[in-house]
Structures are given as structure tokens and as C-alpha cells.
């Protein structure tokens, strides 16, 4: 407490004493015990009120011991069950969390992991993927500032994510690896990887690349083949040795018929091979008649051009070409969509062509766009001329209904630079993204679509969209989200199909280890998105003829259903609206592939490596006592004495208010009882 505050308190005591004595000693000549009681009550009341005005602050320091964390992460993927290690994993976990000495020394926190990391509530070993990279990345954020030795109960086999050895090296906590699985190396042939494009083109041949791997000592030979139905369309004999233990095969298969075609790659197993699941893999190709060609027309160099080209061509059904206005006019009949990047006077003949043919286009403006020239053209939009620029961030319009737009957290994307001023549309339009300046969200369009006289247009008022693609990668470690957004915009602009009240978005086939997501939009009679409708999907297995029904869940401006729990098969489906007789049907195929069953052994080397690098240790699942004893004896894990200082102002002390009320009430009662008032 400061010296100045102490002086104020002493002064308050004198003032309170003076007031009390003046009223009950000086003003009253008769002395009695009653006067003494009233003097004390008045002193306490006045002194307490003055203390509240001064409001001194008191420090309250509490000392406590903080136990270190013991983090237990259990692999919840179905590879644990496949390797017959589920009982060992549960036994190890139980021996740790039920140990009295462990609980006395540590604050035990249990997690399970597969594709995601979760606080443990139940362990069923049913996750379809294993992402150890994500596990260490998230733990590094959670336990960065604490003492938290980590027990990892896993087979060490990862199916998605970056190499977890590098992520674990950044995790500054000792890791104790509990190895689930057999360390004995058995002879095993497997299809390690199969690379293929999702689309092929009619009357062409499409490339296939397959990587075959052998684990073993003795030289072996086998036959690799690809079957379509019961027919073998490719085969090759392969030989392996201990040193030459992998082969890469490249070959071509014919695409003779439009539609989805399924193939089965087979590497004939060895005579006594224990794991034959990894000797087979299904893959599929959708044969299409032609590509959608997109022209990106610009007379300037800008990173946006490359970003647009990459995003458009991320879908193999589309290809794009960057051209200047003159070169475009010589090839204009080759394209189904034109992207006009920052047009100026040199685009005059391009606009004439688009107008005469009523062609769809995507116009992107920026700081170099000549809006004075564009305003003189007969376009469906004009822009205010200010000769000033502004940075605009984006806000998603959740009511947009021309196609499904997922929120990529546009508000966190870098701002686009554009001309300052308002745009005016001459025809009805829909806004996809609104402009945001600083913290102020406007109702002005940053990205909008228009439909007029059978022509579709889109206009983006901003350059540097390449930064959005880069930010999308930083957020998700993938360009997929942004590329899908541009792809849907291109698909909408390149299509001439009439709008229907029920639109579906799904794939013709899904890999067995990927999510099976179907999305839908439903519109009322005015073609406005209807968020009150109930949509239902009926899915019928073509083989077993079993039918299942699922509701579609509303998400932003579309409905969605996750069918990932369906087994691999071919399916017909119908999406119907509950309140109206509107429905749409289709079909898809789920390819069979159990990625977690591709492993025969635990990844012993990596689990031992991360334990050694982090100054931990590794154990097999049967050595739970050794693990517990080592952790209990480790001198690095001691409770830390910490103090907590809490500064409390006197005005927060409620008992002082009670004391003031009591003193005033008692003084009033005594005086009233004795006829002094």
C-alpha cells in the first residue's frame, strides 16, 4: 500500500473520531454508557464511509503447487484392431490412468486421435485415417508453456499429413512411445501408391502410374495386372530382391466409352503372405467427351493471371490459355468462356465479339482498368470515376443462390486493391462477396453475377486475387478450397443450363478413404433460396438393393449430407423436398479401399526416433510397468510452486457495506428507543 494512501486512512480516522466526539461528547453534557456506544457506532460509520471514498487496495498472495501434466494420446484408428493390438492398447491406457501414484504426481489428460485430435470420451478404434502430424502440431500449441511429458500409444503408421518425425522434433516435451504391433518383418508385397487422373477423354488413352513395394529378404517374383470386370487389360511380370525392393510401372489404358469406369489393380500375393489386403486396389476414371476451354485475356503481366490459370485447371475437365486481345480474336471459336482481366481500349473488338455472339464472360477490374472506356460501352454495369484506389476485404453473402459457395473465411483474406467508387448495375444481379473497408461492411458488391437475355456474367472489382489463393494454402495447407471456389464460378459461367428449383452438387465416384459429401440447394417459385424446406435423400445399393434415408442438414446457403459411413458399392439416390413434389435423382460409386489395413507391422523406427530425439523412451505394449516406473522416477517432473497475487480494492469487500448498514441501524434504533429523535 502506498504511503499516500496510509496518510489518507490516518486522516480519515481523525476526522471520524472528531465527528463522533463532537456529536456525542461535546454536544451532550451528560455522560453515560449509552453515549459511549453511540460514539463508537458513529465513528465506525464515518470511518468506513471515508475508507470507501479512499478505496485502498490490498494484495492477497496465495501459494500453491502445480502438478505437471501427463498427456496420454491413444491411436483410435482401425489399424490397431487390424493388427490385433486393441486389447493391448486398452490395457496400457487403463494401467496408466488408474495408477494412484501417477495421479498423485501428474495431472493426467487423455486424448484419442485419428484424422482429428479429441479429448478422450470413448475408444472404438474406428477412425479411417491416422494423422500424427496434426497430433504433434496441436499439442505443440496446447502444451507450449508447461511441463507435459507425453505418452504416445500407437502403431506409428500414418495415412495422411506431413512426416510426423519433423513435427515431433518441434514438440518440446519428452515423448514416451508405446509400440503397438509386431516388430518382426514378414515378407510382404503391396501396391504402395497408384497415381491417375480423375478424368480421361473419349477415344484417347489415359496414363497410369503404380508404385509396387516389397518387404523381405529372399528374391521373389509376381504378376501385376489391371482388370476391368473379368477382363485383364494390362499385365506385367515383376521381380524383387532385398536391395531392389520397389518398382514403378507406367502404362496407358484406353478410354472408349463415356461414363465412369472402374478398374482393379492386382499384385498377386506370395504363397504365405500374411497381409493380402494391400495387394489390391480399385480405381476409377470418368471418361468425358471434351474439355471446357477458358480464355484469360489480358494485355498486361500480373500474378493474378497465373493464379487463375492454376485454379481453373485444378479440375481436369477444364483447360485455360492466357492470351492478349489480338491472339484471342484469332482463336475465339475455341473457347466456351472468356475471362477479361483489367480491360482497356485494346479490348474493343473483344467486347464486340462477346456482344454479337451473346457469350458469357468474367470481368476482373483493378487499378489499371479503364472504367472511362468501359462506361461508354453498352455493358450491364458502370463504375464511378474517382481516380483514387481503395483496399477492399470480402464478406460472404450467405443468401447467394446461383450456386453453392462455401465460406473460406473470406473476411480474413488479404484485401483486394481496386478503384474507389460505387458500381451501378443496369440489370438484376446477385452479390457473392460484399466489400468491407476496415471494420465497416458495406452493401456494395465486390464479386457479383448477372443473367440477362440468356447471357451469364460475373464481375470482380479488385486485383491481387493471387494473394487469396496463397492465403487459402496457409489456412488449409492446400489450394483445394480456393480452386473449388473459382471452379464453381467458372462452371456456372460456362454452363448454359437453365436454373432448376433443386440443384445437386456431388461426384460421380469417391475414393474409399475420402469423405462422401452431397450438397443441394432448393429455391422457391421466385428462385430465391428456401432455408425452410426439408430435404431427404434415399440411397439404394445397386447390389444388395438395400435402401437407406438421410435428412440433409442446412449449412449457410445450401443443404448437406455426409454419406461417408456407406460401404463401398454402387448407389442410386433421389433427393426430394418434403413439402413439394420436387425431386432429383443420380448415382455415384464408392471405391473399396481400406487404407488403415495396408500395414503389416508397427513403424518401429519412427516411434523410437521421436522418443530418442525428445529425450523420452520407447516401450512395447507389454512393458507398462517399466514405463510407469521410469516416469515416476524421472526427476524432471516435479510439482512447481507458484504464487498468485490478487489485488483487491476495498469497495469489493461486501462485509464493509454490511458493517455500515449495521452501525447506522443500531445507532438509529438506540436513539429512537431512548427518545433522542
Write the CATH number for 318. Answer: 3.40.50
Residue 526 phi/psi, 5-degree rounding, is -95, 10
Instruction: Answer yes or no: do 41 and 117 share one domain.
Output: no
- Alpha helices, DSSP H only, in 219-359? 303-313, 325-330, 348-357
What angle do helix axes 480-494 and 466-476 make, rounded to 10 degrees?
130
First to last CA, the chain: 41
- Alpha helices, DSSP H only, in 331-478? 348-357, 371-375, 466-476
Taking the C-alpha atoms of residue 8 and residue 20, their distance in angstroms, rounded to an integer, is 18
**Sequence-distant (≥ 6) Cβ neighbours of residue 482 within 8 angstroms:** 311, 408, 468, 469, 472, 473
If 0-12 CB within 10 Å is exposed, 13-18 middle and 19+ buried, where does residue 231 land? Answer: exposed
Instruction: Answer yes or no: do 97 and 155 share one domain.
Output: yes
* Strand pairing report for 502-505 and 517-522: antiparallel
Instruction: Answer yes or no: do 537 and 653 share one domain.
Output: no
Instruction: Answer yes or no: do 88 and 59 share one domain.
Output: no
Q: What is the CATH number of the domain that holds 580?
A: 2.60.40.2950
Q: Is 17 helix (H, G, I), strand (E, B) or coil?
A: helix
Cell of 317: 475437365
85 found inside a domain = yes
Q: Which helix (H) or strand (E) holds 242?
A: none
Cell of 219: 528374391
Q: Is the Cβ–Cβ distance between 573 and 588 less than 8 Å?
A: yes
Question: Which one of 535, 569, 595 terminates a domain?
Answer: 595
611 found inside a domain = yes
**Residue closest to 623 by CA, chosen among 68, 96, 75, 123:** 96
497 found inside a domain = no
Instruction: Answer yes or no: do 666 and 630 share one domain.
Output: no
Instruction: Answer yes or no: do 209 and 302 share one domain.
Output: no
Q: Is the Cβ–Cβ distance between 501 and 523 less than 8 Å?
A: yes
Instruction: Answer yes or no: do 240 and 168 share one domain.
Output: no
Q: Is 240 helix (H, G, I), strand (E, B) or coil?
A: strand
136 found inside a domain = yes
* Strand pairing report for 246-255 and 259-267: unpaired
If 0-12 CB within 10 Å is exposed, 13-18 middle and 19+ buried, where does residue 664 land? Answer: middle
Q: Is the Cβ–Cβ distance between 667 and 19 less than 8 Å?
A: no
Instruction: Answer yes or no: do 342 and 454 share one domain.
Output: yes
Q: Is the Cβ–Cβ distance between 556 and 406 less than 8 Å?
A: yes
Regarding pTM above 0.75, the answer is no
Q: Which helix (H) or strand (E) holds 164?
A: helix 164-169
495 found inside a domain = no
**Residue closest to 528 by CA, chosen among 398, 361, 435, 394:** 398
Instruction: Answer yes or no: do 527 and 473 share one domain.
Output: no
Question: Which one of 571, 595, 619 terminates a domain?
Answer: 595
Q: Is the Cβ–Cβ distance between 210 and 265 less than 8 Å?
A: yes
**Sequence-distant (≥ 6) Cβ neighbours of residue 14 within 8 angstroms:** none
Three-state SS annotation for 583-652: EEEEEEEECCCCHHHCCCCCCHHHHHHHHHHCCCEEEECCCHHHHHHHHHHCCCCCCEEEEEEEEEEHHH
Q: Which residues pair with 196 in a beta bridge?
A: 208
| Res 574: pLDDT | 93
Q: Is the Cβ–Cβ distance between 336 and 292 less than 8 Å?
A: yes
| Res 250: pLDDT | 92
Instruction: Answer yes or no: do 389 and 454 share one domain.
Output: yes
| Res 151: pLDDT | 94
Question: Which one of 288, 309, 339 terminates a domain?
Answer: 288
Q: Is the Cβ–Cβ distance between 68 and 639 less than 8 Å?
A: yes
Taking the C-alpha atoms of residue 256 and residue 327, their distance in angstroms, rounded to an integer, is 34
| 342 to 23, 324, 446, 580: CA distances (angstroms) | 88, 12, 15, 45
492 found inside a domain = no
Residue 282 phi/psi, 5-degree rounding, is -90, 145
Q: Is 169 helix (H, G, I), strand (E, B) or coil?
A: helix
Domain that holds residue 537: 502-595
Taking the C-alpha atoms of residue 243 and residue 61, their distance in angstroms, rounded to an integer, is 67
Q: Which residues pair with 64 in a beta bridge?
A: 642
Instruction: Answer yes or no: do 384 and 457 share one domain.
Output: yes
Residue 566 phi/psi, 5-degree rounding, is -70, 140
**Residue closest to 247 by CA, chosen among 197, 216, 209, 283:** 209
| 501 to 523, 556, 670: CA distances (angstroms) | 5, 17, 84
Taking the C-alpha atoms of residue 258 and residue 39, their distance in angstroms, rounded to an integer, is 104
489 found inside a domain = no
DSSP string, 76-144: -BTHHHHTT-HHHHHHHHHHHHT-HHHHHH-EEEEEEESSSEEE-S---S-BS---HHHHHHHHHHHST
Q: What is the CATH number of the domain that holds 260?
A: 2.60.40.10
Taking the C-alpha atoms of residue 212 and residue 193, their distance in angstroms, rounded to an integer, is 7
162 found inside a domain = yes
Q: How many domains does the chain have?
A: 5
Q: Which helix (H) or strand (E) holds 74?
A: strand 69-75
Q: What average pLDDT values come out for the chain (677 residues) when binned by 10 residues?
A: 77 81 70 76 84 78 81 89 86 90 91 88 82 92 90 88 89 92 77 83 85 87 89 91 89 86 88 82 81 89 92 86 90 89 90 89 90 87 86 86 82 89 87 87 88 86 92 87 89 76 83 81 75 89 89 86 86 89 87 69 87 91 87 86 74 81 84 73
Instruction: Answer yes or no: do 459 and 332 share one domain.
Output: yes
Amino acid at each position: 500500500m502506498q504511503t499516500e494512501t496510509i496518510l489518507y486512512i490516518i486522516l480519515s480516522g481523525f476526522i471520524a473520531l472528531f465527528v463522533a466526539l463532537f456529536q456525542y461528547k461535546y454536544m451532550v453534557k451528560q455522560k453515560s454508557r449509552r453515549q459511549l456506544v453511540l460514539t463508537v457506532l458513529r465513528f465506525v460509520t464515518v470511518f468506513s464511509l471515508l475508507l470507501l471514498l479512499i478505496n485502498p487496495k490490498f494484495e492477497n498472495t496465495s501459494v500453491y503447487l502445480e502438478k505437471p501434466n501427463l498427456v496420454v494420446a491413444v491411436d483410435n484408428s482401425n489399424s490397431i484392431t487390424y493388427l490385433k493390438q486393441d486389447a493391448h492398447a486398452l490395457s496400457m491406457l487403463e494401467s496408466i490412468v488408474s495408477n494412484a501414484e501417477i495421479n498423485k504426481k501428474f495431472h493426467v489428460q487423455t486424448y484419442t486421435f485419428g484424422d482429428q485430435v479429441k479429448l478422450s470420451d470413448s475408444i472404438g478404434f474406428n477412425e479411417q485415417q491416422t494423422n500424427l502430424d496434426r497430433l504433434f502440431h496441436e499439442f505443440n500449441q496446447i502444451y507450449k508453456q508447461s511441463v507435459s511429458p507425453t505418452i504416445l500409444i500407437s502403431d506409428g503408421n500414418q495415412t495422411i499429413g506431413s512426416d510426423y518425425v519433423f513435427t515431433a522434433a518441434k514438440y518440446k516435451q519428452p515423448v514416451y512411445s508405446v509400440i503397438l504391433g509386431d516388430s518382426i518383418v514378414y515378407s510382404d508385397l503391396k501396391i504402395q501408391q497408384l497415381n491417375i487422373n480423375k478424368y480421361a477423354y473419349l477415344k484417347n488413352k489415359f496414363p497410369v502410374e503404380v508404385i509396387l513395394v516389397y518387404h523381405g529378404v529372399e528374391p521373389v517374383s509376381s504378376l501385376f495386372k489391371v482388370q476391368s470386370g473379368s477382363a485383364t487389360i494390362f499385365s506385367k511380370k515383376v521381380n524383387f530382391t532385398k536391395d531392389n525392393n520397389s518398382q514403378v510401372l507406367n502404362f496407358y489404358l484406353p478410354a472408349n466409352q463415356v461414363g465412369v469406369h472402374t478398374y482393379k489393380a492386382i499384385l498377386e500375393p506370395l504363397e504365405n503372405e500374411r497381409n493380402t489386403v494391400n495387394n489390391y486396389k480399385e480405381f476409377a476414371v470418368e471418361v468425358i467427351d471434351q474439355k471446357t476451354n477458358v480464355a484469360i485475356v489480358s494485355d498486361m503481366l500480373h500474378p493474378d493471371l497465373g493464379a487463375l490459370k492454376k485454379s481453373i485447371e485444378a479440375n481436369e475437365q477444364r483447360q485455360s490459355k492466357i492470351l492478349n486481345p489480338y491472339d484471342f480474336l484469332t482463336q475465339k471459336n475455341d473457347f466456351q468462356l472468356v475471362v477479361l482481366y483489367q480491360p482497356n481500349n485494346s479490348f474493343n473488338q473483344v467486347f464486340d465479339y462477346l456482344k454479337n455472339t451473346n457469350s458469357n464472360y468474367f470481368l476482373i477490374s483493378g487499378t489499371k482498368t479503364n472504367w472511362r472506356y468501359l462506361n461508354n460501352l453498352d455493358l450491364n454495369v458502370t463504375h464511378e470515376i474517382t481516380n483514387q484506389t481503395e483496399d477492399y476485404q470480402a464478406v460472404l453473402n450467405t443468401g447467394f443462390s446461383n450456386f453453392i459457395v462455401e465460406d473460406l473465411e473470406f473476411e480474413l483474406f488479404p484485401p483486394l486493391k481496386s478503384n474507389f467508387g460505387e458500381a451501378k448495375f443496369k440489370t438484376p444481379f446477385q452479390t457473392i462477396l460484399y466489400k468491407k473497408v476496415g471494420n465497416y461492411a458495406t452493401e456494395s458488391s465486390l464479386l457479383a453475377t448477372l443473367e440477362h437475355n440468356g447471357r451469364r456474367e460475373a464481375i470482380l472489382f479488385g486485383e491481387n486475387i493471387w494473394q487469396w489463393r496463397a492465403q487459402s494454402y496457409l489456412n488449409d495447407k492446400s489450394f483445394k478450397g480456393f480452386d473449388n471456389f473459382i471452379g464453381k464460378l467458372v462452371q456456372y459461367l460456362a454452363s448454359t443450363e437453365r436454373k432448376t428449383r433443386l440443384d445437386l452438387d456431388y461426384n460421380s465416384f469417391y475414393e474409399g478413404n475420402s469423405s462422401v459429401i452431397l450438397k443441394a440447394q432448393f429455391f422457391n417459385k421466385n428462385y430465391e433460396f428456401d432455408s425452410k424446406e426439408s430435404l431427404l435423400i434415399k440411397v439404394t445399393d445397386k447390389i444388395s438393393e438395400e435402401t437407406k434415408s438421410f435428412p440433409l442438414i442446412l449449412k449457410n446457403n445450401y443443404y448437406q449430407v455426409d454419406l461417408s459411413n456407406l460401404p463401398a458399392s454402387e448407389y442410386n439416390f433421389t433427393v426430394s423436398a418434403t413439402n413439394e413434389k420436387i425431386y432429383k435423382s443420380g448415382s455415384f460409386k464408392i471405391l473399396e479401399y481400406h487404407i488403415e489395413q495396408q500395414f503389416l507391422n508397427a513403424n518401429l523406427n519412427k516411434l523410437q526416433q521421436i522418443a530418442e530425439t525428445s529425450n523420452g523412451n520407447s516401450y512395447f505394449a507389454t512393458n507398462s510397468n517399466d514405463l510407469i516406473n521410469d516416469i515416476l522416477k524421472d526427476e524432471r517432473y516435479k510439482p512447481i510452486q507458484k504464487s498468485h497475487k490478487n489485488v483487491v480494492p476495498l469497495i469489493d469487500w461486501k462485509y464493509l457495506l454490511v458493517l455500515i448498514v449495521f452501525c447506522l441501524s443500531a445507532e438509529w434504533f438506540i436513539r429512537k428507543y431512548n427518545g433522542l429523535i
